Amino acid sequence: MQVLDIADQLTRFRGRGAGTDAERRAAQWLAGRLRGGRRRVTLQTFWCRPNGALAQAWHTLAAIVGSLLAVHHGFLGGAIVLAALLCVVADGLTGYSPGRRLTREHASQNVVSRAAAQPVGARARLIVTANYDAGRTGLAHRNGLRASAARLKQLTGPLSPGWTGWLVIFMAWLLAVAVERHRGLTGTPIGVLQLIPTAALVLALALLLELAGAPFGPAAGDNGTGTAVAIALVRALDAAPPRHLDVELVLQGAGEAGMVGLRRHLRSRGSELRAANTIVLGIAAAGAGRPRWWVSDGALIPLPYLARLRGLAAHAARPAGSGPAVARPHRGRGTGPALPARARGLPALTIGCLDGRGLAPRAHQATDLAAAIDPAAPDALLQYALTLVDAIDADLGRSSRRSAAAPAVA
């Protein structure tokens, strides 16, 4: 099945948000498409609380209450703001928090495809992963706000905070104001200093509540194309297997909820997956734009991807050694498909297609339909992914030869 066909078929599972019946039907459909041949396909069920917007709305509401109390009770208000701040940080880093516990729990599924027979000999494992669920549409994802955030990121560079980072900044600001009020500082200046972050959090609360109840988009480009490219990549590698890599495919459920699917999958594998024997390649949206490789990613604290893989990605971007690069680096401020693996210390990298502003066009919007996909984008990303896997395989071969020669040299 062609890449665009898979992306189009996924849009027919309307409302396939994390933990929904539509998502589970999409998982069954994907499993049916993958079964047969030399691969064994399983559905991995897990429970999660995917409504991150509602979780952070609870934390934001607590911070606003703390700000109001701090006017007359600096210590009590500051304590509530501090608790909200810690909850935001915990949710951003781990996906667990009191606010998360106040949201509904749902069942989701990963679609896992492995070779039926593993080759004999010491080989590394390449896990290709992408999320197949759909994100919510909302005011926070409108073109105007996204474009403004992209311009701000270009101005601030690597120091640019993501949405979660701004919540942390405003709550830390309020905490500092509450401390000063507890010390006895009053008057108009401290009131103005308190009003600014409080107003920002009120606006954030409105956006979070609207997003928490917004409908799910068709998600053809983000991330139907990523799912399709991941499937096409694994099929191409089955036809021409790498010499030093065993290839697995993990299509994540609840990916829009912080890539919970990959987190659960890695946890279920335990010590089987180690940095010495596992590489994770995440496939992000490829609906339009040019191929990119992620230098770093993270909704709260940017986590750099492994330098060795970034170097191979840069090398693969110029396969002929000269001429224009087929891919460019990108500093993410979200949660890419491979980020949970990097957070666990595994060699990992995310690739995808973005426009000149560093955005996935039409992501989380009702217009993200199969008809709007630029056919050249997923094709270009697939070719880049194949070149990158070849570079990884060749690098593993060189490392093996060096390791074999080391005793002789000694």
Q: Which tens digits make up the pLDDT trace of 75-134?
A: 999 999 999 999 999 998 888 999 999 999 999 999 999 987 766 555 899 999 999 999
Return the pLDDT at 163.
83
Q: With helix as H, strand as E and coil as C, how does the chain read? A: CCHHHHHHHHHCCCCCCCCCHHHHHHHHHHHHHHCECCEEEEEEEEEECCCHHHHHHHHHHHHHHHHHHHCCCHHHHHHHHHHHHHHHHHHHHHCCCHHHHCCCCEEEEEEEEEECCCCCCCCEEEEEEEECCCCECCHHHCHHHHHHHHHHHHHHHHHCCCHHHHHHHHHHHHHHHHHHHHCCCCCHHHHHHHHHHHHHHHHHHHHHHHHHCCCECCCHHHHHHHHHHHHHHHHHHHHCCCCCEEEEEEEECCHHHCCHHHHHHHHHHHHHCCCCCEEEEEECCCCCCEEEEEEEECCCCCEECCHHHHHHHHHHCCCCCCCCCCCEEEECCCCCCCHHHHHCCCCEEEEEEECCCCCCCCCCCCCCCHHHCCCHHHHHHHHHHHHHHHHHHHHHHHHHHHHHHHHHHC
User: 0.95 cut: is pTM over it?
Assistant: no
**pLDDT for residue 399:** 81
Q: Write out pLDDT tens, residues 360-387.
A: 999 999 999 999 999 999 999 999 999 9
Residue ranges of the chain with pLDDT lower than 50?
Answer: 408-410
The pLDDT value recorded for residue 405 is 59
User: Which CATH architecture describes the domain 3-48+108-137+216-409?
Assistant: 3-Layer(aba) Sandwich (3.40)
pLDDT value of residue 3: 85
* pLDDT score at 145: 78
Domain ranges in the chain are 3-48+108-137+216-409, 53-102+142-212
Q: Return the pLDDT at 152.
A: 74
pLDDT at 260: 96
pLDDT of residue 120: 54
